Structure 1
Amino acid sequence: MNERGSEASAERRATEAKRNAVAELLRVSPLADELARRFSAAGHRLYLVGGSVRDALLGRLSQDLDFTTDARPEQILRLVSGWAEAVWETGIEFGTVGAAKGGTTLEITTFRADSYDRVGRHPDVAFGDSIDGDLVRRDFTVNAMAVDVVTKTFVDPHGGLDALARRSLDTPATPEESFADDPLRMLRAARFSAQLGFDPAPRVVRAMTDMAGEITRITAERVQAELSKLVVGAQPRRGVELMVDTGLAEHVVPEVPGMRLAIDEHHQHKDVYQHSLTVLDQAVELETRHDPTLEPDLVLRLAALLHDIGKPATRRFEPGGGVSFHHHEVVGAKLVRKRLRALRYSKDVVNDVSQLVFLHLRFHGYGKGEWTDSAVRRYVTDAGPLLPRLHKLVRADCTTRNRRKAAALQRSYDDLEARIARIAEEEDLAKVRPDLDGNEIMRLLDVEPGPIVGRAWKHLKEIRLDRGPLDHDEAVAELRRWAAEQGIGPAE
């Protein structure tokens, strides 16, 4: 095909893409048309904009739609009041009115022409008068496209459609200007790489590398939100690698680039960073192997990425060229807890991820099935509700290229899971508790509620884990024996 034919073909593809975007927009009609008529009748323009247009072109338009308009916030309120089923004003100081109708959530924002002091993140909010002025201040060209809802025409002043076709991330203004205005956009570039498989333009990568430290202007809560979206993306490894390669990770999760340990010819071990990325890939694959409808698992993916962050601090060179990482799971769990707290993750996420990191090596003591039933019970009890995730994490942690060794490890874990299932069926492992409850302990020991009851309960639970279920007389005899050893007095 000659150059002219190639250009014509590209133009046809672009035209078709525009038609597809408009067709996808019409899918939400009559809602969008109703809204357009209300704004048009009042003398205002209305555009579907940003991620909504990008997703329409990708064939994945959601029920959350973003619009922009020349109408001011108070005018938007008047136009949607009485039409929408619900209206909220939480973002009105930034020009945004929220509304809901027919199962669709709408955000309608006045054209923006903000300016930034480039010290904090929040701009001095200023309203604009044109769609072009609004689009130039957006983060990436693929998010700087719009559809005029009234005329059903496509608006693309910055080549977003071409960038979308090339799966490229670039900025409407220069990357330096864009990131100086809002450094969070650098992390958003990594997030879009993970979510959509886009490659940042070379000038974007250069600017991210030069300006990585600017991310420290952003609050931990906002950083955490973007990082979480990255981690649950379709290809989280891409986003992590971009963060590490540009130096952004040094200011967000420095423990991840910290896993890139120097390896010399005398002390061979796996590249911990690359190993962790492979574990993340394999955890993502295991998430939906048996159920493709499952949502991405943030806790499992964070644990997969961070499970070995304790290795740099525990690396020891052994005589003869060996390398050890003794207790790296203990150190790693502490580091995970510290980092996730700094990123303002919820208590549940912090506890769950750190516990998975702490437990991820436990299986390697299983060998060829040498564990007693007591050890299996403890494994299940310590994991608690995290057990399904622990199964996936342990399996994902097998990255050896030795097929025979990998197969042996998977068979061993198959055996462990089979034993867990057998013992669970026999003993209801999900509810492992002492064979005497607190009330009976107090009655038998003739004590009031307090520390003695807790100690007795804990002792009986340990016996339960070691020996399995006891009948009532055995449990009472064990309590009496323990009480006598503690000098608590006869439990007659």
Structure 2
Amino acid sequence: MSMNLEATRTFSIEIIQTLQAAGFQALWAGGCVRDLLLGKPSKDFDVATNATPDQVRDVFGHDRTLPIGASFGVITVQGGKRRGQVEVATFRTDLGYSDGRRPDDVRFSSAEEDAQRRDFTINGMFYDPIHKKVLDYVGGQRDLKNRLVRSIGNPYKRFEEDKLRMLRAVRFSSTFAFDLEMQTQHAVREYASHIHVVSAERIAAEMRRMLTDERRMIAVRMLRDLTLLHEILPEADSTVGHALRWSETYHSLERLPVGDFRVAMALLLRYACQDSLLNGKPLKPIYPADEVCRRWKLTNDEAKIIQWLLRYEHTIRHADQVAWPKLQRLLIADPAPLLIAMGYAVQRARDNSTVGVEHAESCLSLPEEELNPDPLLSGSDLIKAGFTPGPQFHRVLETIRDEQLEKRLNTTDEALAFAKANWE
């Protein structure tokens, strides 16, 4: 655990101590309890209490608390730059979810009632770090032992309340290598078409977490089997419905050596984009990848790199057959290591012939003066030599760069002579 997380953990315990000393019940809640019982590090240390939001603010002071989520019973207690901040939530019962996301209203309640509103049993436990005691009203400890993801109460009701829970069910099952309880599975399949009420940002956030995990291929397979993949990424239907394409995509995700969302997305969309890549222009957006990026509201950087990976993955897989100037321009691009990772994943899924990718990787490790030597000429050099600025400048400089990389031109004088001889 990093120093900052350890400091936040300690801070959360101090909050619990302070609330208990003031006469309130205060406990760790949710994911951090699950992670504690699994022996895994946790990133969040949420506190639940029977103190009302106003009482929490009175205990810690208004200058140290933020009432951002006060309408849902959540107060943020600030611990400073080093210790971070901790959310303190009042035990509550949610009253209706008309938008399929947030409760319409809440009623403050007890720990036992609060547990019943949560999503899955493994996330519905509480822990008192002062007295070292687990409070489990939903059978979470049993399901952790049995490695099972199960909805609390009626799964249809849980998914009706918040449709995103369907994606979370897949994420928890795949990440922890747990089974998804049968009734919970049935409910996901029945409600899968309702996932569209969830915002694009929330869907993308869950997919980022799934696709950056080492068990990403299990998550994608579960999404397919539960029909969620068809709903959130119909562009992948042509891959899912084709046995060889699906097998290659699945095993590519399995063999991906890096946990990078952009590479995983490119692998998922690779076959869907084949026609666009074969018939499109180099600078034209790649269909349907560009549409998926817009729909999920991915960042410009994510959209740009996903399409760049799709455009050049074939080239990098056959890098040993590519002219050096063309390969060099790929290797000096910032996402080159991601392209190589994608190349390895695809080739290892296909026939394990990675000669081309290995060649690219060896070239990437060349000394800087060999991989990316300073250009022999610039546009200002051409102007000084009497060339008139214009569209041909780029073509001239690119051709001279090719000659330099092929070591047919080695000095500025040679480059100028070459330019004059060919574009006089």
Equivalent residue for 1:337, pick from 279, 283, 290: 290
- 1:373 counterpart (314, 324, 331): 324
Q: How does 1:97-108 map to 2 (within 5 A)?
A: 97-101=75-79, 103=83, 105-108=85-88
Q: Among all aligned residue pairs of Structure 1 and Structure 2, give the percentage whose two residues are the same amino acid.
A: 24
Q: Secondary structure at the match of 1:126?
A: strand
Following the alignment from structure 2 to structure 1, what is the Cα–Cα distance between the partners of residues 186 and 280?
35
**1:171 CA drift (Å):** 1.0
Mapped partners of 2:358, 2:9: distance in 1? 52
Match of 1:471 in 2: 411
1:39-95 deviations in Å (ceiling 9; x for gaps)? 23433211111101001101124353011111121221222238x9x5433323322
Question: Is the CA contact (8 Å cut-off) linking 1:191 and 1:233 kept in structure 2?
Answer: no
Listed one character per residue, the Cα deviations across residues 119-158 of structure 1 (whole Å, up to 9, x for unaligned) are: 4422113132201111101010000101245654321111
Are the structure 2 counterparts of residues 120 and 464 from structure 1 closer, same or farther at C-alpha, using a change threshold of 3 Å?
same
SS of residue in 1 equivalent to 2:75: strand
Contact 1:148 1:154 (8 Å CA) reproduced? yes
Contact kept, 8 Å, 1:433 with 1:464, in 2: the verdict is: no
Q: 1:417 & 1:40 partners in 2: Cα distance?
A: 58
Mapping for residues 263-302 of structure 1, pairs under 5 Å: 271-283=244-256, 286-287=257-258, 296-302=259-265
1:87–1:99 contact (8 Å) kept in structure 2:
yes
The alignment status of 1:413 with 2:348, answered yes or no, reads: no
Note the aligned Cα RMSD (angstroms): 3.1
Q: Find the aligned partners of 1:203 and 1:342 in 2 and give their Cα distance.
A: 31
How far the C-alpha of 1:445 sits from its partner, in A, is 4.0
Q: Which amino acid aligns with 1:413?
A: V
Structure 1 unmatched runs, 5+: 1-25, 263-269, 288-295, 315-324, 485-492
Q: Is 2:302 aligned against 1:349?
A: yes
Give the Å deviation of 1:242.
Answer: 1.3
Q: CA deviation at 1:207?
A: 0.6
In the TM superposition, what is the alpha-carbon distance from 1:477 to its structure 2 partner? 3.1
Q: Which residue of 2 aligns with 1:139?
A: 119
5 Å-filtered alignment, 1:289-328, equals 296-311=259-274
Q: Matches of 2:54 and 2:412 in 1, distance apart? A: 72
C-alpha distance after superposition, 1:89-129 (max 9, x if no partner): 33233222223436354211111211224444221131322
Distance 2:168 2:45 in 1: 19
Partner residue of 2:54?
74
CA distance in 2, matches of 1:120, 1:29: 32
Please give the secondary structure, in 1, of the residue aligned with 2:27.
Answer: strand
CA drift of 1:28 comes to 8.3
Distance 1:203 1:462, change over 3 A: farther
What's the counterpart of residue 88 of structure 1?
66
Distance in 2, matches of 1:39 and 1:257, equals 52
- Alpha-carbon deviation of 1:416? 4.0
Q: CA deviation at 1:208?
A: 0.6
SS, match of residue 213 in structure 2: coil
User: Any residues of structure 2 matched to 1:45-444 within 5 Å, and which?
Assistant: 45-62=25-42, 64-81=44-61, 87-101=65-79, 103=83, 105-149=85-129, 151-262=131-242, 271-283=244-256, 286-287=257-258, 296-311=259-274, 333-366=286-319, 369-381=320-332, 384-399=333-348, 406=352, 409-419=353-363, 421-422=365-366, 425-429=368-372, 434-444=375-385
Change (3 A) 1:437 1:453: farther
Aligned equivalent of 1:456: 393
Alignment-mate amino acid for residue 301 of structure 1? A
**Residue identity in the other structure for 1:310:** C
The one-letter code sitting in structure 2 at the alignment partner of 1:415 is H
Distance across 2 between alignment mates of 1:174 and 1:97: 29
With over 3 angstroms needed to count, the CA separation of the structure-2 counterparts of 1:107 and 1:455, relative to structure 1, is: farther
Deviation, 1:333, is 3.7
- Cα 1:413–1:119 shift into 2, 3 Å: closer
Give the Cα–Cα distance (whole angstroms) in 2 for the partners of residues 151 and 326 of structure 1.
64
Tell me the TM-score normalised to structure 2 length: 0.87
SS at match of 2:47: strand
User: Measured at CA, do residues 466 and 259 of structure 1 come closer, stay the same or move farther in structure 2, by a change above 3 Å?
Assistant: farther
Task: Give, in angstroms, the shift of residue 395 of structure 1.
Answer: 1.2
1:428 offset after TM fit, Å?
Answer: 3.8
The offset of 1:247, in angstroms, is: 1.1
Contact 1:256 1:273 in 2 (8 A): no
Give the aligned length.
Answer: 413
Indicate how the Cα distance of structure 1 residues 126 and 433 shifts in structure 2: closer, same or farther if over 3 A, else same: same
Q: CA 1:303–1:467 in structure 2 vs 1: closer, same or farther (change >3 Å)?
A: same
Name the structure 1 match of 2:3. none
Report the AA paired with residue 198 of structure 1. F
Q: Relative to 1, partners in 2 of residues 1:460 and 1:236: Cα closer, same or farther, differing over 3 Å?
A: same
Residues 107/462 of structure 1: CA separation in 2 closer, same or farther (3 Å cut): farther
1:329, 1:361 within 8 Å by CA — same for their partners in 2?
no
Preserved CA contact (<8 Å) 1:73 1:110: yes
- Taking the aligned partners of 2:281 and 2:230, their CA distance within structure 1 comes to 22
Residues 328/135 of structure 1: CA separation in 2 closer, same or farther (3 Å cut): farther
Q: Residue 89 of structure 1 aligns to a residue in which SS?
A: strand
User: What secondary structure, in the 3-state scheme, does the structure 1 residue paired with 2:93 have?
Assistant: coil
Distance 1:201 1:111, change over 3 A: same
Q: Which moved more, 1:454-463 or 1:155-164?
A: 454-463
CA contact (8 A) 1:184 1:223 kept: yes
Gaps in structure 2 of 5+ consecutive residues: 1-5
Q: For 2:32 and 2:362, locate their aligned partners in 1 and report how far apart those are by CA, in whole Å.
A: 47
Report the 3-state secondary structure (helix = DSSP H, G, I; strand = E; otherwise coil) of the residue aligned with 1:397.
helix
> CA offsets per residue over residues 295-326 of structure 1, 9 Å max, x none?
x3222222233323224x58xxxxxxxxxx95
* Cα shift readout 1:400-457 (whole Å, capped 9, x = no counterpart): 675xxx3xx22343334334545x555342xx6642223333433476xxxx356414
The question of whether the paired residues in 1 share the 8 Å contact of 2:29 and 2:127 is answered with: yes
User: Cα distance, 1:466 vs. partner?
Assistant: 4.2
